[in-house]
Amino acid sequence: MDIKDLLELVKELADLPVGELELEIDGVKLKLKKAGVQPVAERVETPAQSVATPSLQPVSPTQDGTPQFPPDAVVIRSPIVGTFYRAPSPESPPYVDIGDVVEKGQTLCIIEAMKIMNEIESEVRGEILDILAENAEPVEYGQPLFLVRPLS
Amino acid sequence: MSTLSKETLILSILIQHLGEIVSGEEMAQRVGVSRVALHKRIDALKRQGVPIKSIPRKGYTLMEIPDLLIPPLFLTLLKSREMGRNYHFLEQTDSTNRVARELARQGAPEGTLTVAESQTRGRGRQGRSWFSPKGENLYFSLIIRPSISILEVPQITFLASVALTHVIRERLGLEALIKWPNDIYIRGKKVAGILVEMESQDAIPRFLVVGVGLNVNTPPGGFPPEISTRATSLMIEGGKGLLRAQILAWFMESLESWYQDLKKGHKEELLTYWRRYNYTLGRLVQLEDGREGWAVGITPQGSLLVRTLGGTLLSIGAGDVEVVE
């Protein structure tokens, strides 16, 4: 790979909706490293649409490496890369806590990207079983945020 | 969508003939009301603070345009077709973004504009407060309903910041620049902040609320001490007071025109202007985690590319950066 190829690759990666991209230059050796959880190749192959659309998915606890979620729970995922906030401001109480029963349409958190505050709403009525991201930490595209057990 | 109200018509006639006397008869005819009804409308405008003078046996006159945000005045100055036409004016509210979101949930159309003379809980990122004294500055929130994916929403942030910067530069001749992603600075001090809130479903935004705080007429020494070294106003920079309704009307016009371009798919021009007006590229910035680096570019998605002092290239899509120098 020459420098041109590398720049192309960097450009392509930069265009992907990911939070961080690291390029390390070490003598003649060039290493691309990506902050986040998934290897670059996997991310590139993932069609954006399939990750973007289902913010609410039934859990399939079969895949390797994915945490095993209770089979009756739904996972609320981040629709974008951004910063995860559990409260509207540092002084406010969190929108929800583990054990809370939330209504359909109730705000669960905010994902911020570029000063755009994206309110994530619960798409089911249910009980919050778990909160899977840390307050004020970056989250990836499609990353699980909440486990909700639907209630009728 | 709107037919202008009688009061808006009266005010627009008086503004067309600023400093002149318009006869009651002529005005009544142009507005399409009786002389008595005209008199009532004029009184109503006076009660809202418009200094119309009645000159016995001659007519009415307005010597200068008052710095008010009342609907008849704003709508008189507004030239856009859609943006700002559905105008909600409030003397005081907690936060125009909150009101706008309520309106949007109830189905308010694109272009609905909520404006307040003062905010009791004006806010920025993560609940930080926004200095919102009565009668001095502009605090408003605009509803936009773009047919785009959630990943394209940063375009709207660029749209708002470019349109506002354009107005400040072209109409007022002040050297406004954009700090990534969307704060507006003049000579290194913040003059405006933009906060976009979105409600979305299945990665499609249902609506966006573009909230703007623009410091217009805060006088020198008028900012609270904790922000006085970092904040400025158009009055401080330009040396004179300005008509807020006029600036707001210009912004709606500018934003509408950029938005039309964007809807036709002309994204590049917006980014070109963003780059031209930017204040961040080429500067040393500090990230929220404390790392420092040079801002070297932005991606088409709007992320900021920062080369750290250690040589690592980072793409910053969330959070904020501080310009160090």
CATH number at residue B13: 1.10.10.10
Is residue A23's pLDDT more than 50?
Answer: no
Q: Is B265 found in the same domain as B149?
A: yes
Question: Out of B197, B312, B319, whose CB is closest to A24?
Answer: B312
Q: Is B317 found in the same domain as B175?
A: no
Q: Give the domain extent around B81.
A: 71-276
Q: Is B115 found in the same domain as B227?
A: yes
Query: For position A2, what pLDDT does the model report?
Result: 52
Q: Is B188 found in the same domain as B93?
A: yes
Q: CA of A144 to nearest chain B CA: how many angstroms apart?
A: 15
- Compute the distance between CA of residue B153 and CA of residue B146 in angstroms, rounded to an integer: 9
Is residue A86's pLDDT more than 60?
Answer: yes
Evaluate whether residue B1 is within a structural domain.
no
Q: Is B225 found in the same domain as B90?
A: yes
Question: Residues B59, B42: contact at Cβ < 8 Å?
Answer: no
Q: Is B10 found in the same domain as B92?
A: no
Instruction: Output helix, strand, coil percentages for chain A, rounded to the nearest 5.
Output: 15, 35, 50
Q: Is B159 found in the same domain as B24?
A: no
Whether this prediction's pTM lies above 0.90 is answered by no
Query: For position A61, what pLDDT does the model report?
Result: 45
Q: Is B213 found in the same domain as B118?
A: yes
Tens of pLDDT, residue by residue over A119-134, are 888 889 999 999 999 9
Mean pLDDT by 10 residues, chain B (325 residues): 78 96 95 94 95 95 96 96 97 93 96 95 78 92 92 88 97 95 92 92 86 96 92 96 98 96 88 90 90 89 88 85 85
Is residue A48's pLDDT more than 50?
Answer: no
Contacts of A48 in chain B (CB under 8 A): 151
CA angle B136, B141, B142 (to 5 degrees): 135
Query: For position B265, what pLDDT does the model report?
Result: 85
Query: Which residues, listed in sequence order, are joined to residue B208 by a DSSP beta bridge?
Result: B144, B198
Query: For position A110, what pLDDT does the model report?
Result: 92
3-state DSSP assignment of residue B83: coil
Total domains in chain B come to 3
Nearest residue of chain B to residue A117 (CA atoms)? B197
Q: Is B298 found in the same domain as B190?
A: no
CB-based contact, B213 to chain A, within 8 Å: no
Evaluate whether residue B248 is within a structural domain.
yes
- Compute the distance between CA of residue B13 and CA of residue B65 in angstroms, rounded to an integer: 12
Evaluate whether residue B200 is within a structural domain.
yes
Evaluate whether residue B146 is within a structural domain.
yes
Reading the block at residue B207, the tokens are 């609506």
Q: Is B27 found in the same domain as B56?
A: yes
Evaluate whether residue B292 is within a structural domain.
yes
Q: Is B112 found in the same domain as B241?
A: yes
DSSP state letter for B108: P
If you count residue pairs, one on A and one on B, with CB atoms under 8 Å apart, how many are there? 115
The CATH number covering residue B300 comes to 2.30.30
Query: For position B213, what pLDDT does the model report?
Result: 95
What's the pLDDT band for A40 if we cut at 50, 70, 90?
A: very low
Question: Is residue B239 packed enough to be buried (19+ CB in 10 Å), middle (13-18) or exposed (0-12)?
Answer: exposed
Question: Out of B126, B199, B311, whose CB is closest to A119?
Answer: B199
Q: Is B237 found in the same domain as B141?
A: yes
